Structure 1
Amino acid sequence: MTTLSRRGAMMLPFGLAGLTAACAPAARQMAMNADPTGRADPEMLSLLESYARLNPLPIETLGAAQARQQPSLADAVRARALEQQNINPQRPINSQQDLALTTVPNALQARIYRPITRSSGPLPVILYFHGGGWVIADIETYDASARALCAEAEAIVVSVHYRQGPEVRFPGAHDDANLAYAWLVTNAAAIGGDPNRLAIVGESAGGNLALNAAIFARDRRLVAPRTVVAIYPVGGVDLETPSYTRFANAKPLNKPMIQWFVANYTTGPAQLQDPRLDIVGRADLAGLPPVLLVNAEIDPLASDGDRLADKLRAANVPVTHTVYPGVTHEFFGADAVLTKAKQAQRQVGEALRTAFSAPADVPTPPRQGRRRAAM
């Protein structure tokens, strides 16, 4: 056993101070690399640092197949939860079942989540579309979001995986979303759901699909969803908005990645004029059910939320728009490690339960207006 001299013992605090000082720049550099914007709150920053330690390659430099193999923020949530000694971060639900929807001409893969509930009758049903820029990610990547919706709304959730680019380009994913909603209208009762209490929820690219599926239901005169929840949705094609400029280098989503997604899903600039992609510029939103928009502050898509809220109000659609400060794109499914994800999930669950409990012919809109979530 080595024994310190009296002088060595006296010098030890200075040595530790020097070591701490030497480590401080490295810690600052780690934080800067994880959150180039410097806007993340402490919980979000810790999650972004966990994500950085997974060493994801820049999506915009890869082919689609390789991009789909990169670590996701969901992987970082699991890593961060383990760091906090949370070995089972999944939200408890009753059951889940993978199946293929009998949609024609394309059978779509889906996962049905069933809630823990005392209800003995048919349950409300949520159709959920995951994110990934219409190119990457799948049902498993967004499992936490679907589980949260199931638990918070006490509803059946049908999470659908749609065809993706570049193998199937626009409007492949949009057509699949419409097929999925038509399937749900016909088959809700067969899975234990109430066909008169439906909702559509989507994240990111899936938020765009959710809004478009509601437009499809309106135009085809299908049973209307009680509400639509679009979580940091892709709302337009303008990449020069304030948030695209301010958060061009944000993580986990940045402007070059969005340009890469567009290049892999569309066949050229002409398709960007389509109202299904340019919702804020060209879509007709009149007659839609109440919409809840959830945005993250640190996100190139934040301004899309502002513009969508304005357009929905102009079309006399009841809309609630909440921006959660200090968090990034993809925060919604990170409830295992983020307080604001839990808050957003509770907000969405409350809005869904309110919509499901209202009379079918007079849906109760959420409170109107844009509000900033509590710090």
Structure 2
Amino acid sequence: MSTLISRVPPSVQGAALHGVFALPQPLRRLLAGPPIRRDGLELALDAQLLLRMMALSDISLSSSSAEAARIRTEASRHVLGGAVVSGVRTRNLNLPAAQGTLPARLYEPRGLAPGSPLLVYFHGGGWVIGSVDSHDGLCRYLAAQAGVRVLSVGYRLAPEYRFPTAADDAFAAFRYATANAESLGADPAAVAVGGDSAGGNLAAVVCLDALREGGPRPVFQLLFYPATDPSVRRRSRDLFADGFFLTDEDMTWFIDHYCPDVESRRDPRVAVLLAEDLRGLPPAYVATAGFDPLRDEGNAFADRLREAGVPVVKHQHDDLIHGFVNFIGLGTRFREAVAEAAGALCTGLALRSRANVVDLFGPTA
């Protein structure tokens, strides 16, 4: 069946999928099947329905080769994506890197004043797949909902570029953003970093690098189910090894491509959870998913941040799966989770923006 469906154009698959999600709740429950419960948690209907539809299609993360996986990922965004978020202008850029340039895209909500905060965003995809395009819908949504500029960065991917290339690219992109904030329309004193999964890993690593290297530091970190320690197999990886989008096999495939040297997987620029000292890192919002193999290491990182005295909000979305930031064009439950994160981002950045300091504490007429 999946082979037959994979022959249907992605646009047609997408229309059918959105039609399924528009059905009345009883019909969606009938299609999804009885509620799934594991580890004391119950999977959201939206997530369960999406997994059922994925099982009938050709949507998966790993593949026979990195190139094949990338092609599949780009095709799946036409299936999973929703309507384009309005009111956001975009501009494609090329950022300088150690060798050549990195593709990037700047998202600017219409009417946003110059000198507003900026989020530098790193897409997920196990350091192997994903792109600026694959996360276009998410970045538009964050820009519009949080009222901030977003700079989405296309770092170089493994296995062509293995560790530490992606980490180096991410830090270079952050340094570019702070050095050129005014030309990007942003406040150089209110630049944050964010990312999902492998991108969340890179965002956290940028915070560590900035602290060690000196110079400008991110003022906030927005982390969606970040990969924080590939050197240890935690309980959630066994609990949700298969059937919940990101699989145990996918995780092995990704890290083998990005960091094949097993000893290097304990390097804090891969396993940020193992960094000796997290004191001085910026405030964080860490969102994890209850039915995600990465759940426990994301939660552990949030806990270590708190122990180090870093202000952190940790929210485990008990009923969601890995990848939920890419599904906001579908069920409302996915949008609810990302809307909460956008609110946290807006608050965290507003408190550090010079423009807002003037608004809040300046003399009144």
Question: How does 1:47-196 map onto structure 2 within 5 Å?
Answer: 47-56=50-59, 59=62, 61-71=63-73, 74-78=77-81, 89-117=83-111, 119-196=112-189
Q: CA deviation at 1:223?
A: 2.1
Q: CA deviation at 1:151?
A: 0.7
- The residue number in structure 2 matching 1:10 is none
Pair 1:98–1:327, CA change in 2 (3 A): same
Instruction: Give the letter aligned to residue 47 of structure 2.
Output: M
Pair 1:120–1:275, CA change in 2 (3 A): closer
- The residue number in structure 1 matching 2:247 is 254
Pair 1:330–1:263, CA change in 2 (3 A): same
Of all paired residues, the percent bearing the same amino acid is 31
- The residue number in structure 2 matching 1:334 is 327
Worse overlay, 62-71 or 108-117: 62-71
- The residue number in structure 1 matching 2:24 is none
Pair 1:360–1:100, CA change in 2 (3 A): closer
Instruction: Give the letter aligned to residue 116 of structure 1.
Output: R
Q: CA deviation at 1:245?
A: 1.2
Aligned partners of 2:119 and 2:191 also within 8 Å = yes
Instruction: Give the letter aligned to residue 265 of structure 1.
Output: Y
Tell me the distance in 1 between the aligned counterparts of 2:60 and 2:207.
Answer: 35
Tell me the distance in 2 between the aligned counterparts of 1:340 and 1:126.
Answer: 24
Pair 1:320–1:249, CA change in 2 (3 A): same
- The residue number in structure 1 matching 2:200 is 207
Q: Secondary structure at the match of 2:58?
A: coil
Aligned partners of 1:93 and 1:116 also within 8 Å = yes
Aligned partners of 1:185 and 1:222 also within 8 Å = no
TM-score, normalised relative to structure 2: 0.82
Tell me the distance in 2 between the aligned counterparts of 1:227 and 1:292.
Answer: 8
- The residue number in structure 2 matching 1:3 is none
**Residue by residue, what CA displacement relative to the aligned partner does 1:230-255 show, whole Å, maximum 9, x if unpaired?**
10000112452111010011332011
Instruction: Give the letter aligned to residue 167 of structure 1.
Output: E
Tell me the distance in 2 between the aligned counterparts of 1:55 and 1:358.
Answer: 44
Tell me the distance in 2 between the aligned counterparts of 1:282 and 1:124.
Answer: 28
User: Is 1:269 the equivalent of 2:269?
Assistant: no
- The residue number in structure 2 matching 1:8 is none
Tell me the distance in 1 between the aligned counterparts of 2:265 and 2:256.
Answer: 11
Equivalenced residue count is 324
Instruction: Give the letter aligned to residue 72 of structure 2.
Output: Q
- The residue number in structure 1 matching 2:47 is 44
Extract structure 1 runs of 4+ deviating beyond 6 A. Answer: 27-30, 35-38
- The residue number in structure 2 matching 1:286 is 279
Q: Secondary structure at the match of 1:189?
A: coil
Tell me the distance in 2 between the aligned counterparts of 1:224 and 1:293.
Answer: 18
Q: Secondary structure at the match of 1:213?
A: helix
Tell me the distance in 2 between the aligned counterparts of 1:58 and 1:174.
Answer: 21
What RMSD in Å do the two structures reach over aligned CA positions? 2.6
Tell me the distance in 1 between the aligned counterparts of 2:53 and 2:59.
Answer: 11
Pair 1:36–1:255, CA change in 2 (3 A): farther
Gaps of 5+ in 1: 1-26, 82-88, 365-375
Gaps of 5+ in 2: 1-27, 358-365
- The residue number in structure 1 matching 2:7 is none
Tell me the distance in 2 between the aligned counterparts of 1:212 and 1:359.
Answer: 21
- The residue number in structure 2 matching 1:348 is 341
Q: Secondary structure at the match of 1:68?
A: helix
